[in-house]
Amino acid sequence: MLGNLQDFKKNVLAIIAGVLLTLAFSPFNYWPLVFISLAIFKLLLVGLTKKQAFFKGFLFGLGLFGSGVSWVFVSMTLDAQNGIVIPLFMTLLYCSFWAIFPALFAYLFVLLQCKQYFLNSLLFACLWILVEYIRGEWIFNGFPWLQVAYTQLDSPLSAYIPIVGVYGAGFVILLCTVLLVDSFLIRKGRYYCISAVMMIYLLGWLLQGFNWTQVSGESFKAVLIQGNIAQKDKWLINNRELTLQQYYDDTIKHWDADIIIWPETAIPAFYDEVKDKYLIPLEQQAIETHTEIIISLPYLDDKNEELFNTVRVLGKQQGMYKKIHLLPFGEYLPEIPLLTMLLEKLHIRLGLFTAGDKNQKLLYAAGHHFITSICYEDAFGQQSIAQVEQARFLVNVTNDAWFGHSLEPYQHMQIARMRALESGRYLLRATNTGITAVVSDKGIIIQQADLMTHTIISADIPPMKGLTPYAKLGDKPIIMLILLILGVLISLKYKDEKIL
């Protein structure tokens, strides 16, 4: 009976540890909690069998994703006729799926752990980042949400981000965590562990003042429009003219700007439906006033019967970007029959979009090339640095109206900040309902619109040149290093077992 009670307490603690990790992310931003959460999780795995570790990891994952991506439920209940039963079931199913990844991590950790305590700690750090990488880059086109590095954007450890990116910075966080845990559990080497953490933080603090990129030319004026069109009204035919008129009125007030940016699918119509009567006249005015307008709308290629989510530049320098990284269950549907049936019952509109070519030319505005991302494409660091040497700033257009006042818009804004810091470029982020913002090359928000407001913000943007170490090397070096360390640790484990 006592053993069952103890195990129950540990199960509850695993869930709590997962929730604590959510509190380290935006909008809460209690970034020290990442170390407490992961330390508790590591201690909970001591002495467990592989099966027990998998279950503890699953509970930790339920705590993390059940609290951290609770906004999935919000997106499914925008339509009043959906009720709450099926959305609750779908949210539980969704969170349970992603909870498998902490469970897989815990299983592998117990399977591969060896006798040396420090080596086990190194194993913990490497395995965590490897599982994050698999989840973030491979599964369902990648789901890089709630990766630990995002918690440190406002801590001294953020200085590692432009050097080693989200996975490298995450590895640094895990190292600090396991070293702190080791300092409490072992006497020999305790002060070495504490000293190592202090050195990591000191180096981070010193690196914060280092500029990896430099200003390249005169600043230009950018205006970002947050239209605040409710998702339930966005695609209604009766509202189309009102929406188009609103964006037109907001735009013509700012012909003194060099760039005016609209949110993702700000135009609720296909390109050909609004081209002649709306876009061409608007573009003529933009040319006359020496302004470029960056718009977003779906484009139907009748010849190939393909639908694209696009960004276009209206003005002297015309261009079109087709979204590359499509959103699963939103812009394309993975072949999972049960989910297809449930989504249809929820009356959730499913896209049938085609992914754009990975080697598209950069768009050009205000005399500079820029990196374009649409919605959650800004969650993928490799995509944002693919041609960054030619680019002088970043543009992201997003529609987070599906998620209301939930955690998602804040988490998404935190993710977007990471791309500015990794690339050493200013980010101009225009969203439909928020959070629209201008982010500096240091990942600092310098202008921001309130959530769920019709707002226009503007700022003078310095074009940036040069490359951060991460922009030069990407994720491959840190992932290869982690795989190398894991290979050595596994070989040492089996070498010791053979000796015994």
Q: Catalytic one among 56, 322, 323, 493?
A: 323
346 Cβ contact list (under 8 Å, min separation 6): 76, 79, 82, 86, 87, 90
Angstrom CA distances, 476 to 88, 164, 329, 337, 483, stand at 38, 10, 28, 35, 10
**How far, rounded to the nearest angstrom, does the alpha carbon of residue 470 sit from its chain's CA centroid?**
17
What pLDDT is attached to residue 189? 75
Least confident interval from 86-90, 364-368, 405-409, 439-443: 86-90
275 catalytic, yes or no? Answer: no
pLDDT in tens, 289-347: 999 999 999 999 877 778 899 999 999 888 999 999 887 766 666 555 555 555 555 55
Q: Catalytic one among 132, 264, 283, 408?
A: 264
Q: How far apart are the first and last CA of the chain?
A: 36
d(CA 187, CA 190): 5
Tokens 């940016």 -> residue: 261
In the 8-state DSSP scheme, what is residue 211? -
In the 8-state DSSP scheme, what is residue 361? P
323 catalytic, yes or no? Answer: yes
For the record, the structure tokens of 153 come out as 């954007």
d(CA 17, CA 20): 5
Domain boundaries along the sequence of the chain? 2-211+475-499, 214-467
Q: Model pTM?
A: 0.92
Q: Are 432 and 227 in contact (CB under 8 A)?
A: yes
d(CA 22, CA 31): 10
d(CA 96, CA 55): 12
d(CA 55, CA 20): 18
Single-letter amino acid code for the residue at 106? A
Least confident interval from 83-87, 214-218, 403-407, 422-426: 83-87
For the record, the structure tokens of 223 come out as 């205006």
- Name the superfamily (CATH) of residues 214-467: Carbon-nitrogen hydrolase (3.60.110.10)
Task: With cut-offs at 50, 70 and 90, classify the pLDDT of residue 500.
Answer: very low
Nearest-5° Cα angle at 273, 270 to 274: 100
344 catalytic, yes or no? Answer: no
d(CA 415, CA 420): 9
Q: Catalytic one among 132, 292, 375, 408?
A: 375
